[in-house]
Amino acid sequence: MQTRNPQTLAADPTYVLPTRPPTPPRLVEVAPPLPDVAADFGRACRRGGEVAKALGARFVAASENLRVFTTELRSRLEELDGAVAEATRAQIKGALRGAFDVLDWCDVAQGDLLAQSQRAAVGAEPIHVLAMCEELAAQEHRADRPVHVAGVAGAVWWGAAEGLATALRGALRLASERALGQGARSIEVRETAQAVFVEFRANGDTGPVAPESVDAFRRAVAALGAAVLPTALGVGAPALVVALPKAPADIAD
């Protein structure tokens, strides 16, 4: 299996919610808000037992793949060993090609396991982005300013949960501040082969944003190696997209 480098996510590092667009923002229809969670959203995301469980499940799956492939390789080699005395050269070469095909799959499985182990060794974890956004929505929900969440449930991004929580919370609050803290807000998660995209929108009249809010948000996004993009509403809406690039090992042809 071949891998390819992720495409560079084009983004203007100076972009953060400039002027108001000619069209109003569109809200997505989503599930009702979740129950309250712990006050510190970032700390709540660092549940050691859940992280260990998620990593363990991935390592078990990768190890099971290796076991299946090595069992198949052993079986083919045994068949070849038993047929060497009577097999023709073409038959032997065909059997060898089949064995090498299985060995190639062993290499892929071993590479996946190694890549995931290396990420875990430096403190990264597989984060279900939609679940984190739902938790953020529950924390930021207000009766007069609800937060709706929709998107791809299976979108996983490897990185630091606390850092991602800080960036996502900053994005939501920045969009809210741009909309003068009024009306409903929405979060939508999308995924492509190269990245996970998290779109934030706020419904309300637009106004100025405090420079310190912008600076703090930019630092949080930069720390993740992520990018900030405008939404389909244009560069003036109280809305923005956080683009989380995937690692090269996650991008398959």
- The answer to whether residue 12 scores a pLDDT higher than 70 is no
The three-class DSSP label of residue 227 is: strand
The pLDDT of residue 88 is 77
Q: Which residue intervals of the chain are DSSP H helices?
A: 41-44, 48-83, 89-121, 129-140, 161-178, 211-224
> In the predicted model, what is the mean pLDDT of residues 195-216?
89
The three-class DSSP label of residue 149 is: strand
Domains of the chain, by residue range, sit at: 41-46+124-250, 51-121
Residue 180 banded pLDDT, cuts 50, 70, 90: confident
Does 83 or 202 have the greater pLDDT score?
A: 202
45 φ, ψ to 5°?
Answer: -75, -10
Pairing of strands 185-191, 239-245: unpaired
Total Cβ atoms within 10 A of residue 238: 30
- The answer to whether residue 221 scores a pLDDT higher than 80 is yes
The pLDDT of residue 2 is 44
CA 7 from centre of chain: 15
Domain 41-46+124-250, CATH homologous superfamily name and number: Histidine kinase-like ATPase, C-terminal domain (3.30.565.10)
The pLDDT of residue 60 is 74
List, for residues 120-161, the tens digit of each pLDDT value. Answer: 777 778 889 999 999 999 999 998 899 999 998 788 898 888
The pLDDT of residue 36 is 45
- The answer to whether residue 16 scores a pLDDT higher than 70 is no
The pLDDT of residue 116 is 75
105 φ, ψ to 5°?
Answer: -65, -35
The pLDDT of residue 1 is 44
The pLDDT of residue 64 is 79
Residue 175 banded pLDDT, cuts 50, 70, 90: very high
Distances (CA, A) of 111 to 70, 90, 108, 235, 245: 14, 32, 5, 41, 20
The pLDDT of residue 148 is 94
The pLDDT of residue 10 is 45
Distances (CA, A) of 141 to 103, 137, 164, 205, 239: 52, 6, 19, 19, 17
162 φ, ψ to 5°?
Answer: -65, -40
| Residue pointed to by tokens 């930021």 | 140
Amino acid at 207: G
List, for residues 56-110, the tens digit of each pLDDT value. Answer: 777 777 777 777 888 887 787 777 766 666 767 777 778 778 878 887 887 877 7
Calpha distance 152→196 (Å, rounded): 9
The three-class DSSP label of residue 188 is: strand
Residue 172 banded pLDDT, cuts 50, 70, 90: very high
User: Please, are residues 194 and 246 in contact by the beta-carbon 8 Å criterion?
Assistant: yes
238 φ, ψ to 5°?
Answer: -75, 65
**Highest averaged pLDDT of the listed ranges 65-74, 169-178, 229-238:** 169-178
Return mean pLDDT, the chain.
Answer: 76
DSSP-assigned letter for residue 142: B
| pLDDT more than 70, % of the chain | 73
